[in-house]
Amino acid sequence: MPLPSARPAAALSVQSMLPALVVPWLAACDGPQSILDPAGPAARGVTLLWWPMLIVATVVLVGVTAAWIVAMLRRPRDFSPEEAKRISRRWVVSGGILLPAASIVLLLGFGVPVGDRMLPRRGEAPLRIDVTARQWQWDVAYPGDGVVLVDELHLPAGRAVHIHVTSADVIHSFWVPRLGPKIDAVPGRTNVLRLQADEAGSLRGQCSEFCGTGHAHMVLKVHVHTEAGFSAWLTERAAAAHVGGKDPAGATPGGALPAPAAPGAARNPPRLVSGVAFLP
């Protein structure tokens, strides 16, 4: 499915600052599911981790390889036992201990805050969307509005969304790569994933935990609306659902109010309270 690019300006400017080393890659970094083409803050955080990690890793790999080649090719020298001991200790301590230790500290120092920013936040009033995965489709519900979709997710741009993910059968994994991290859909549990999209457009998601013969085709179409566009869309859909008209996008039997097999995701008939709900 051809999708319009929704790459935000911010990402472009970040990428333009990157060293020449990675420029040839950039042309090939676009794609409907590319992690390197972020369309939301969470995915952008990961991209910002990736490029420096790639550069450091490349430097280390080239350095170690070069040291090996030089050691193999250079003219052998004689070392006194003291010299040998000193040199070997220097190599092992600096390369074997200090280098990885420093890398780990740096990595955690920069990486952990990025991870923390992805988590659901206290005091936020996000939009809640319930996603129930089953072999092999995504049931997407907007609790409070009675809207149920299949394999289609609609979101407002610029606003945090909490996706409450569970499964009706086997384990699946909910993932919209350009928005951010994935979370497993586990039967008996509900996991909450916080996502936010930068601007209106279309995105693609795909199940990323092996779930049987339909795994490769368990695709989710994601439509990001403007805030106003989303309200309009939801109102229209909710009205259609209340009238009892069959949801054109959702093939769920019974239309508006499904009888979810999903444990843990209680869905009551419309209580239009700003679209926020909490776990039972």
* Range 141-170, binding another protein (CB under 8 A): 169-170
Copy the structure tokens of residue 184: 């497993």
Taking the C-alpha atoms of residue 181 and residue 42, their distance in angstroms, rounded to an integer, is 7
> 177 to 216, contacts with another protein by CB under 8 A?
177-178, 180-184, 186-189, 191, 204, 206-216
How near is the Cβ of 232 to another protein at its closest, in Å? 30
Amino acid letter, residue 50: W
| CA–CA distance, 150 with 134 (Å, rounded to integer) | 11
What is the per-residue binding string for another protein in 214-253, x denoting contact by CB under 8 A? xxx-------------------------------------
Smallest distance from another protein to CB 175, Å: 8
Per DSSP, helices labelled H in the chain are 9-16, 23-26, 41-73, 81-91, 99-118, 227-243
Under 8 Å between Cβ of 38 and 178: yes
The 65-84 site mask, x for binding another protein (CB under 8 A), equals x-xxx-xx---x--x----x
CB distance 133 to 215 below 8 Å: no
Q: Which is nearer to another protein, 49 or 240 (CB)?
A: 49
> Which residues, in sequence order, are CB contacts of 93 under 8 Å at separation 6+?
none
Binding characters for another protein, 2-31, by CB under 8 A (x = yes)? x----------------------x--xxxx
Site string for another protein, 123-142 (x = CB under 8 A): ------------x-------
